[in-house]
Amino acid sequence: MPETVGTHHLRRTVDMLSLHQIDSVNVAVRAHYLPAFSRLGSYDRALIDRAAWGPKRERRLFEYWAHEASLLPMALYPLLRWRMAQADRGEGGWTSLRRFATERRGAAEAVLARIRSQGPMAASDFEDGKSRSGWWEWGDTKQALEWLFRAGHVTTATRRGSFERVYDVTERVIPAAIRDLPTPSDADAFRALTERAARTLGVATETDLRDYFRLKPEAARASVAALVEDGVLIPVAVAGWGRSAYLHRDARRPRRIAGAALLAPFDPLIWERARTERLFDFHYRIEIYVPAEKRRHGYYVLPFLLDDRIVARVDVKADRQAGKLLAHRVTVEPGAPAETVERLGIELRRMAGWLGLDEIAVGVVVHAE
């Protein structure tokens, strides 16, 4: 990890991963900040804020649907225009939003016209923009805004303190140099996205590669075949996987893997849970939507990577009022090395310092059988 993390470190990390997934849960810290922390250690989160939502001259990232809602390098914008075009035609995405491409298009265009004339707006700035009670109960204006976002007519201008998205017309946010880049054919875009996924994952199955940018099976299959033909992907057999795998030609197997990291639930290393089990023999599910009495490991559980193994998991919460990072429950995996708890403590202290918390408080430590 670098002693001092600068803009170039962050840029290199995001480019290597191709995206940071966004999630609104803020129990410890919002998920899009964690992949860089896992790889770089303590850094100024304002680096991401400026790259994603800062002054236009500092923008290096944009928001869009990639794996899920994500922050992506600007260079990927043309590679996702096919998804915007699909949404504009009323194809793909949530059924409730597709209506705005057809019979409710006039309503969406009225929302767009208001943003164009009045400037950046959030859903709550519209008279009927506030959500109904309950999760995902969006009002009509919010749905129209989300369709406009998926279709590429608007994008995120900034985020408010509550993490509410503020929309603006795309041409006022995405730099002209990016907007003017040629639009690749769908096949070329699928291939480029698949190659990026392969470069990040190193070795992967077709399903792993497809999942990274949520491509359709036929698109991924054709892309993998083309990349194999061109020698970019090398078919390999991985012991214990029981299915075909592909190695990126630039992947290098290190002589030794040394390091420690707490991983976000939405980190690209582990977000495809079947791959996580194949790689690490580690069964992981996020339990934030599971009733408390049915949770096995806790509410917001971060896996702990030590060298080349996931050796523990910890249920964390930032108690900002008390200035503490709470580790409610630590579960040590079977066969974990003796230094696991000590090394985990180091990473928890590192995280506490990064979050501006003065101490950590560890609850129960359980050794799984």
Give the range among 44-48, 129-133, 154-158, 252-256 with minimum mean pLDDT. Answer: 129-133
Q: Residue 285: CB partners within 8 Å, gap ≥ 6?
A: 273
**Mean pLDDT value across the chain:** 93
Q: Distance (Å, rounded) from C-alpha 48 to C-alpha 314? A: 25
Residue 287 contacts residue 297 (beta carbons within 8 Å) = yes
% of the chain at pLDDT higher than 90: 86
Question: What pLDDT shows up at residue 93?
Answer: 77
Rg (CA), the chain: 21
Q: Distance (Å, rounded) from C-alpha 315 to C-alpha 330? A: 7
Question: What pLDDT shows up at residue 131?
Answer: 44
Question: What pLDDT shows up at residue 350?
Answer: 97
Which among 25, 23, 142, 163 has a CA at the least distance from the CA of 94?
142
pLDDT band at 257 (very low <50, low <70, confident <90, very high): confident
Residue 61 contacts residue 14 (beta carbons within 8 Å) = yes
Which among 213, 342, 212, 334 has a CA at the least distance from the CA of 280?
334
DSSP-assigned letter for residue 28 = S
Question: What pLDDT shows up at residue 138?
Answer: 57
Q: Distance (Å, rounded) from C-alpha 331 to C-alpha 32? A: 24
Q: Is 41 left (phi over 0), alpha (psi -120 to 50) or beta?
A: left
| Bridge partners (DSSP) listed for residue 305 | 261, 310
Q: Residue 289: CB partners within 8 Å, gap ≥ 6?
A: none
Q: What is the mean pLDDT of residues 39-49?
A: 95
Residue 165 carries which side chain, given as an amino acid letter?
R
Beta strand 359-367 pairing with 324-332: parallel
Q: What is the mean pLDDT of residues 220-224?
A: 98
The answer to whether residue 259 scores a pLDDT higher than 50 is: yes
Burial class (CB in 10 A: 0-12, 13-18, 19+), 326: buried
Question: What pLDDT shows up at residue 137?
Answer: 43
The answer to whether residue 218 scores a pLDDT higher than 90 is: yes
Which among 181, 246, 253, 184 has a CA at the least distance from the CA of 220?
246
Question: What pLDDT shows up at residue 43?
Answer: 96
Q: What is the mean pLDDT of residues 172-197?
A: 97
Judged by DSSP in three states, 254 sits in: coil
Question: What pLDDT shows up at residue 72?
Answer: 97
Question: What pLDDT shows up at residue 77?
Answer: 98
